[in-house]
A and B are shown apart, each in its own frame.
Chain A
């Protein structure tokens, strides 16, 4: 029964071909450092799922942001767990993505024909940092408020257009409800959508080009 259902679906969707292309592709003999990309992908999905869960209760407004998080932490069953995973997963994701970049760099895996994979990876790293930056404001506590004040002020030191950049980031002269709303929007819509799209391109090239082997003495 299961076999017949699967065959019916496979005939139409090509599931076996997808499996063979994506998971059964030939890879050179590599080591554990080559798992960092999969780890990054896993963390992105984990952050996505826990983040979606958090939006059930979180309200991005100066009146409610802090209180809604207190509610998640103290009153909602397993709220501490879901926010805890999102909180620590965020730091871990920055770390793992960065190590993934270091591995690619030290093993020379960015060279021909994988230059464009590297370029999309650079944007993915920057977007990951952007997720950290925008997510940090959302708890709307003292640390979040002043960290964002300082960070947007740093952006304001750019010559000539610094003040403009600062005001675009803050949505005005001061940190306000406008800042919180746009950071929330960027954190849950803009950056995740861009990351998901770039991961698609990144993985397409990984599958199309295959992964590089560990450099040998003669390389």
Chain B
């Protein structure tokens, strides 16, 4: 074959084959990989402000329990989890929202007015009105939610999954 400045037929076929193969590989590969990794790309974490009612619902100095449910979706399964939060209005008008989940083994604590403490029924963990440890096996104070007030409605910042 005489030498030519242009690419040979053989080179041209090789390039076209490689290009067509790449396109076909991508057409098959991208859907296949996307299909397999979808669950890893879906957002499951929640970051929401949950309204817990008018501020007037919460008397000064008395922890008041508010219950709410959150639905968690895994694939096609929905799980409803219930949460409890003790809301305390301080005398200066500030609010404190404490999770009622004991930091020991996640039992639900109750506010006992006569002891002035949240008491866990499982292992006698005692927390004071602001959630600090009085006595018991718990490793840390009760978890607090961030709060904000908009138009006289109290909101708590729920971050979780």
B32 at the interface (CB under 8 A from A): yes
Size class of the contact patch on chain B: 10 to 19
User: Interface of chain B, helix or strand or loop or mixed?
Assistant: helix
We find that the number of chain A residues with CB closer than 8 angstroms to chain B is: 15
A residues less than 8 Å from B31 (CB atoms)? 77-78, 81-82
A53-B32, A82-B31 known; A77 and B76 CB under 8 Å? no
Tell me if B75 and A78 are in contact (CB < 8 A). no
Complex interface bits, A62-81 against B, C-beta within 8 A gives 1, otherwise 0: 00100110110001111101
User: Which residues of B64-91 have CB atoms within 8 Å of chain A's CB atoms?
Assistant: 75-77
Contact assessment for A71 and B75 in the assembled complex, using a CB-CB cutoff below 8 Å:
yes
Query: Closest CB of chain B to A119's CB: distance in Å?
Result: 35
- Whole-angstrom distance between the alpha carbons of A67 and B76 in the complex? 6
Q: Which residues of B sit under 8 angstroms from A76, Cβ to Cβ?
A: 35, 38-39
| A70 B35 Cβ-Cβ under 8 A | no
Q: Kindly identify which residue among A64, A67, A68, A82 contacts B35, using a CB–CB cutoff of 8 Å.
A: A82
Least Cβ–Cβ distance between A87 and chain B, in angstroms:
15
> When A81-B31, A82-B31 are in contact, do A56 and B76 touch as well, CB less than 8 Å?
no
User: Would B38 and A70 count as touching, CB distance under 8 A?
Assistant: no
Closest chain-B Cβ to A43's Cβ sits at a distance in Å of 16
Q: How far is the CB of B95 from chain A (nearest CB, A)?
A: 38
For B75, the closest partner residue in chain A by CB is: A71
A57 at the interface (CB under 8 A from B): yes
- For chain B residues 28-57, which have a beta carbon within 8 Å of chain A? 31-32, 34-36, 38-39, 41-42
User: Which residues of B are found within 8 Å of A57, using beta-carbon distances?
Assistant: 75
For window 65-105 of chain A, which residues contact chain B by CB distance below 8 Å?
A: 67-68, 70-71, 75-79, 81-82
**18 A-B interface contacts by CB (under 8 A):** A53-B32, A53-B35, A53-B36, A56-B36, A57-B75, A64-B76, A67-B77, A71-B76, A75-B42, A75-B76, A76-B35, A77-B35, A78-B34, A79-B35, A79-B38, A82-B31, A82-B32, A82-B35
